[in-house]
């Protein structure tokens, strides 16, 4: 190996996450993170996911067997635990913490992170993948600001010449 030769490179996913973070930090968003092992309340209940929603089923979510959990932490032993199915629980935890600290909105965060779904894998689906969500809470925030933020992000991330189209749709998760 030559003396000043580079010895490695970024993994494409790691590079993408860094680039996404940089763009949103430019826009004064905070980057938040949280546990990948999550409790049922933060992952589902706090987000108003109905008790009978299909995403709570064993075939969609990786649930931990409570009797197999080796811990002396009684709170954890009594919780139904799972591998988080989205990064939304981090938004809940972030707002809980801010309220506890007496900090009122505005809140502006992005939450890049690993998520898990118990589904069959194929060329377009995997049991583990990365997701990035954003949260912006303020009295004066509007759909126009959301549109501007998304367009700014995609132009910065994909290049100024990228053709961006926003179209309303319905995704009944």
What's the token pair of residue 124?
A: 């377009």
What residue spans of the chain are helical by DSSP H? 12-26, 40-43, 74-78, 88-100, 143-158
The reported pLDDT for the residue numbered 168 is: 86
Residue 85 burial by Cβ neighbours in a 10 Å radius (0-12, 13-18, 19+): buried
Strand partners, 132: 112
The reported pLDDT for the residue numbered 161 is: 96
d(CA 166, CA 49): 27
The reported pLDDT for the residue numbered 74 is: 56
Interval 26-66: pLDDT, tens? 999 999 999 999 999 999 999 988 888 877 777 789 988 77
The reported pLDDT for the residue numbered 67 is: 62
d(CA 20, CA 133): 11
The reported pTM is: 0.84
Query: Three-state DSSP class for 154?
Result: helix
CATH number (3.30.930.10, 2.40.50.140, 3.20.20.70, 2.60.40.10) of 33-139 reads 3.30.930.10
b (16+ CB within 10 A) / e for 128-142: eeeeebbbbeeeeee
The reported pLDDT for the residue numbered 171 is: 77
The pLDDT tens digits along the chain (173 residues) read 567 777 788 999 999 999 999 999 999 999 999 999 999 999 999 998 888 887 777 778 998 877 666 665 656 656 788 999 999 999 999 999 999 999 999 999 999 999 999 888 899 889 999 999 999 999 999 999 999 999 999 999 999 999 999 888 887 76
The reported pLDDT for the residue numbered 22 is: 98
What's the token pair of residue 172?
A: 């009944």
What is the residue extent of each domain of the chain? 33-139
């Amino acid at each position: 190996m030559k003396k000043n030769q580079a010895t490695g490179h970024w993994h494409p996913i790691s590079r993408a996450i860094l680039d996404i973070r940089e763009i949103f930090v430019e826009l004064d968003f905070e980057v938040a993170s949280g546990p990948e092992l999550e409790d049922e309340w933060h992952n589902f209940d706090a987000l108003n996911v109905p008790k009978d929603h299909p995403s709570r089923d064993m075939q969609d979510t990786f649930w931990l067997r409570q009797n197999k959990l080796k811990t002396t932490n009684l709170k954890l032993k009594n919780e139904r635990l799972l591998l988080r199915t989205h990064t939304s629980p981090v938004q809940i935890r972030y707002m809980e913490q801010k309220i506890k600290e007496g900090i009122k909105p505005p809140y502006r965060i992005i939450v890049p992170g690993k998520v898990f779904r118990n589904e069959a894998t194929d060329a377009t689906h995997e049991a583990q993948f990365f997701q990035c969500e954003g949260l912006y809470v303020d009295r004066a925030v509007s759909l126009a600001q959301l549109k501007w933020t998304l367009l700014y992000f995609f132009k910065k991330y994909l290049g100024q010449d990228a053709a961006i189209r926003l179209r309303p749709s319905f995704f009944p998760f």
